[in-house]
């Protein structure tokens, strides 16, 4: 269970849900002097990048949780089969001997 949690970095993605993607902000790329309009456009682009990053992180989180749920279901089914196997084997032997 913890392997899947760490594989998809679910905890880290929850903590950094609205952080910029790979710490990239459009305001970091300009070297010229910015006026008020440029700062507004950069801040809107920063918000847009953060929202896109949040959507990507949410998809990763949901995929990780889905994989973890499927893994849990598969192991639960295998555990029930493992517990029932001796009873199935004994029943099959008894049924087979009664047919002789």
Tens-digit pLDDT profile for residues 17-73:
777 666 555 556 665 677 888 778 878 888 888 888 888 888 988 998 898 999 999
Rounded to 5 degrees, what angle do the CA atoms 26, 32, 37 make? 65
pTM more than 0.75 = no
- Residue 26: which domain range? 2-98
Domain count across the chain: 1
DSSP assignment string, 13-47: HHHTTTSPGGG--GGGT--S---HHHHHHHHHHHH
Tell how far CA 52 is from the center of its chain: 17
């Amino acid at each position: 269970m913890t392997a899947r949690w760490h594989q998809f970095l679910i905890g880290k993605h929850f903590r950094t849900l609205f952080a910029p993607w790979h710490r990239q902000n459009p305001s970091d790329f300009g070297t010229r002097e910015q006026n008020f309009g440029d700062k507004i456009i950069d801040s809107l682009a920063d918000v847009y990048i953060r929202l896109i990053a949040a959507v990507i992180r949410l998809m990763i989180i949901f995929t990780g949780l889905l994989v973890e749920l499927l893994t849990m279901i598969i192991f639960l089914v295998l555990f029930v089969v493992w517990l029932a196997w001796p009873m199935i084997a004994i029943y099959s032997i008894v049924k087979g001997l009664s047919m002789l």
